[in-house]
Amino acid sequence: MEGILKKSKDFILEKFDGATLFQENDVLLDQPLMTLEFASFSDGKEAVAKAANVLFMKYLKSGSTSSYQGEQIFTESQMGEALKTVGGNGPEPDLLLVYGPARCHLGFPAWRIRYTEIQHMGPLKSMKYGSLIKAIYKFTMVQQNYGK
Amino acid sequence: MERIRERVIQIYGNLVSLLQKCIFCILSVGPIPNHIAFIMDGNRRFTKKCKLMEGAGHKIGFSALMSMLKYCYEFGVRYVTVYAFSIENFKRSPEEVQSLMDLMLEKIEEILKEQSIVNRYGVRVIFSGNLKLLSEPVRLAAERAMLATAKNSKAVLSICVAYTSTNEIMHAVQESCEEKWDEITLLNSSGAGYGLISLGGYEQDEMDHLIKLTDIEKHMYMAAAPDPDIIIRTSGETRLSNFLLWQSANCYLYSPSVLWPEIGFRQFLWAILNFQQIHFYLDKQRKQS
């Protein structure tokens, strides 16, 4: 199920002179232009299922499937790589702004929002520049320990 | 004098209890969440703020947890999940990790006692996470607790230890692969495989869908509980820190600014009221996905 933004991405990019579409191996720092990436619900759980199949194929091809009960055969980075090959693993957002009636991430790809600050901005029609600045300011005041 | 004081405290306690029951009655006119999850953040900050001894914040945090569990089960919430210890928390100093493990061991023994909340409300306790990462005494205590409460059926308490969402997803994918492999091997050995092991017998399209979403979901550590309706993270932090990322697609995220040991009835009430307000919207989203 592709989201409506993804289907209209060409139209949206036309409206922005200074934006490019995100490419798989883009490095995020020091971009001269704003990079837009469109994600939809299918990039979440369904992408993980596809990645699981990619890993399964690797598992079979490696041929060494004898005594792996209980041992770890995949690592998280292998999972990340598999997600990238099926197109479901872009960079992790630092800040997620939720426009809508509720503070809820609505199925944003799980692998990417481990440490993302999720802020609720209210309904879409009341979007204001001031609230955006406030949200970014709140973000700059946050201190993360990442578990430590 | 002492007796009068005790009596006054008892009456006050009963009044508060009665008031809470009345509030729950009124609230149950609206939708009651089936599953609430807690990220118990702010214990160390509380210790610093109140200038207590190290580890005191966590002990007070445990009492706060017991109160919250009581509110949940009295209100009718069937499933409660708590983020007790993340895999990332192993990065802390060995002394801190050890004291947390000791606290966990102590509290597991406590909750298994006769008069504890677990027996009063018929709660089945499940430890979700990569339990192999725990030291043996803690792991054995956890397994004992799960066994002892296995027959309880009124409510469920999932305690996430040595847990992260990414680890859970990866583990579920691995289990699905091993299960699928066993399936294929079985088919092959019974002669029905047509050489499936070499995959000659599968179309490319079929190969991309050997492992389905449902296979992965049933191998999640949290498979025994439905998706959470509310995730409450204290200390005003707005991130999920690798907790229930898979299960929280249509979950209301509530971040009160109080520290975990300070959480009380007021925050619980507010979470329920907000949940009831947006329940219709989230339910609609859930049905669409």
What pLDDT digit, counting tens, does each position of A26-76 carry? 666 666 778 888 888 888 999 999 999 999 988 888 765 554 555 667 888
Chain A to chain B Cβ contacts (< 8 Å)? 135
Task: Determine the pLDDT at residue A48.
Answer: 94
Please tell me whether residues B127 and B186 are part of one structural domain. no
Mutation target to probe the B interface, by most B beta carbons within 10 A, among A4, A54, A148 is A148
Minimum-distance CB partner of A106 among B209, B216, B285: B285
The verdict on a CB contact (< 8 Å) between A53 and B208 is yes
Which residues from chain A sit within 8 angstroms of residue B92, using beta carbons?
147-148
Please tell me whether residues B91 and B120 are part of one structural domain. yes
Please tell me whether residues B171 and B255 are part of one structural domain. no
Nearest-Cα residue of chain A relative to residue B212: A49
Residue B41 bears catalytic tag:
yes
Please tell me whether residues B183 and B73 are part of one structural domain. no
Q: What are the sequence ranges of the domains in chain A?
A: 91-147
Encode pLDDT of B232-281 as tens digits: 999 999 999 999 999 999 999 999 999 999 999 999 999 999 999 999 99
Mean pLDDT for chain B overall = 91
- The total number of structural domains in chain B stands at 2
CATH number of the CATH domain containing B83: 3.40.1180.10
Task: Determine the pLDDT at residue A40.
Answer: 87
Residue bearing the bigger pLDDT, A27 or B155: B155
Which residues from chain B sit within 8 angstroms of residue A76, using beta carbons?
166-167, 170
Burial of B62 (C-beta count, 10 Å sphere; 0-12/13-18/19+): buried
Taking the CB of residue A140, how many other CB atoms lie within 10 A of it? 7
Q: Does B17 fall in a domain?
A: no
Domain containing B147: what range? 30-163+227-288
Please tell me whether residues B144 and B49 are part of one structural domain. yes
Minimum-distance CB partner of A107 among B209, B213, B289: B289
Minimum-distance CB partner of B252 among A104, A119, A147: A104
Which residues from chain A sit within 8 angstroms of residue B207, using beta carbons?
53, 57
Residue B139: pLDDT over 80: yes
Residue bearing the bigger pLDDT, B209 or B109: B109
Please tell me whether residues B117 and B187 are part of one structural domain. no
Task: Determine the pLDDT at residue B204.
Answer: 60
The verdict on a CB contact (< 8 Å) between B251 and A104 is yes
Angle made by CA atoms B120, B123, B127, in degrees to the nearest 5: 140
Residue A139: pLDDT over 70: yes
Which residues from chain B sit within 8 angstroms of residue A68, using beta carbons?
178
Share of chain B above pLDDT 70, in %: 93
Encode pLDDT of A89-135 as tens digits: 788 999 999 999 999 999 999 999 999 999 999 998 988 999 999 99
Minimum-distance CB partner of B165 among A68, A69, A110: A110
Q: What is the mean pLDDT of residues B186-203?
A: 62
Residue B194: pLDDT over 60: no
Which residues from chain A sit within 8 angstroms of residue B252, using beta carbons?
102-104
Please tell me whether residues B140 and B239 are part of one structural domain. yes
Residue bearing the bigger pLDDT, B147 or A10: B147
Please tell me whether residues B88 and B184 are part of one structural domain. no
Nearest-Cα residue of chain A relative to residue B177: A56
Taking the CB of residue B153, how many other CB atoms lie within 10 A of it? 10
Please tell me whether residues B67 and B133 are part of one structural domain. yes
Q: Does B2 fall in a domain?
A: no
Q: Does B103 fall in a domain?
A: yes
Please tell me whether residues B181 and B101 are part of one structural domain. no
The verdict on a CB contact (< 8 Å) between B210 and A53 is yes
Encode pLDDT of B44-99 as tens digits: 999 999 999 988 999 999 999 999 999 999 999 999 999 999 999 999 999 999 99
Task: Determine the pLDDT at residue A63.
Answer: 65
Task: Determine the pLDDT at residue A58.
Answer: 85
The verdict on a CB contact (< 8 Å) between A148 and B251 is no
Please tell me whether residues B272 and B186 are part of one structural domain. no
Task: Determine the pLDDT at residue B78.
Answer: 96
B41, B102, B215, B227: the active-site residue: B41
Predicted ipTM? 0.89
The verdict on a CB contact (< 8 Å) between B173 and A48 is yes
DSSP chain B: -HHHHHHHHHHHHHHHHHHHHHHHHHHTTSPPPSEEEEE---HHHHHHHTT--TTHHHHHHHHHHHHHHHHHHHHT--EEEEEEEEGGGGGS-HHHHHHHHHHHHHHHHHHTSTTSHHHHTTEEEEEES-GGGS-HHHHHHHHHHHHHTTT--SEEEEEEEEE-HHHHHHHHHHHHHHHHHHHHHHHHHTT-SSSGGGTTTS-HHHHTTSS-HHHHHHTSTTTTSPPPSEEEESTT----SSSSTTT-TT-EEE--SS-GGG--HHHHHHHHHHHHHHHHHHHHHHHH-
Please tell me whether residues B236 and B113 are part of one structural domain. yes
